[in-house]
Amino acid sequence: MTVIPGTRLAEASGLHKTFGDIHAVNDVSLHIDAGETYGLLGPNGAGKTTTISILAGLLEADEGTVMVAGERIRPRSTRGRAAIGLVPQDLAIYPDLTAEENLKFFAALYGMSRRDSAPRIAEVLDVIGLTDRRKDRTSKYSGGMKRRLNIGIGLLHSPRLLILDEPTVGVDPQSRNAILESVETLSGEGMAVLYTTHYMEEAERLCDRIGIIDSGRVIAEGTRAELTASIGEQERIRIEVTGQVADAASRLRGLDGVTDVAAEDDAVVVLADDGSARLSAIIERLAGAGAQIGSIDLARPDLEAVFLHLTGKALRE
């Protein structure tokens, strides 16, 4: 692949999409350069899949434009489509075929000749770490191996922009790491990557720039350092609790130094100035509310804290 790092590869401007009353994508603009990994970080229903479906030309926007590799992307045209590799959130592989047969099938579908596809399939199997298992039927694969093959299919035609929609959901730690490493390798080779996730650790590890998306809007964008600097020196305190989590969380609102509070399934997440100094008061309040306290985690500002500060919600509720 010959790409010049820093070349503007993809640009979405003023995208809107509504489904009935739901404004799924509300004025989203973003751009990605060659060799850059852009993360779209947001909770369930934020508009990530809708945004990338528009970017990949699968879904028509109500308003706005998408340019990829110098071509305008539109659902009714195949222009620019060869530059895009989309790895969908839902698996799109054939369980009765082996990994190699799946790749051969999709290579034929992309119009690749057998001569071109054979070496490329070998390369792709290597990138996704499935060379040893290439002759096994994919119905026997673990969830993580199926996900890796799903990525391989998106890579077959050597796209310049790879779009991955939450590729690590429900995979084992080993496959997860393999997926993250593949993305790092591809990005290092100059591919532009658009990576959606609701795991902030992945966005922090992989992404050069991150757009935080909520309710269809990109509410903040920048490098990890820029985003965390925007909320100052606050610390994030995550306290596991059993009992009435929402009630326990509400008791912490208004406590001195506490700026934001959100409830997760089994934890409260607090944003506080000088968090360590506030910890005893916070624990006292929680105990007073009858909450059973488990582990306590105190962290410097991270993307989770940025999300909480901007939305008043936890990323994972």
- Using CB under 6 A as the binding rule, the residues of this chain from 4 to 33 that contact ligand ATP are 19, 22, 24
Residue 46 C-beta: closest distance to Mg ion, Å:
8
Residue 84 C-beta: closest distance to Mg ion, Å:
17
Among 42, 57, 85, 88, binds ligand ATP (CB under 6 A): 42
Q: Report how many residues bind Mg ion under the rule CB under 5 A.
A: 3
Residue 44 C-beta: closest distance to Mg ion, Å:
8
CB nearer ligand ATP, residue 22 or residue 97: 22
Residue 56 C-beta: closest distance to Mg ion, Å:
13
CB nearer ligand ATP, residue 183 or residue 315: 315
- Binding partner of residue 173 among Mg ion, ligand ATP, none, CB cut-off 5 to 8 Å per kind: none
The window from 41-49, 65-73, 241-249, 295-303 that contacts ligand ATP (CB under 6 A) reads: 41-49
Asked if 49 interacts with Mg ion (CB under 5 A), we say yes
Asked if 170 interacts with ligand ATP (CB under 6 A), we say no
Site string for Mg ion, 67-106 (x = CB under 5 A): ----------------------x-----------------
- Using CB under 6 A as the binding rule, the residues of this chain from 188 to 227 that contact ligand ATP are 198
Residue 166 C-beta: closest distance to ligand ATP, Å:
6
* Alpha-carbon span 195 to 285, nearest angstrom: 39
Among 5, 6, 14, 45, binds ligand ATP (CB under 6 A): 45
Give residue for tokens 């000749």: 113
Q: Are 199 and 168 in contact (CB under 8 A)?
A: yes
* Chain contacts with ligand ATP (rule: CB under 6 A): 19, 22, 24, 42, 44-50, 89, 198
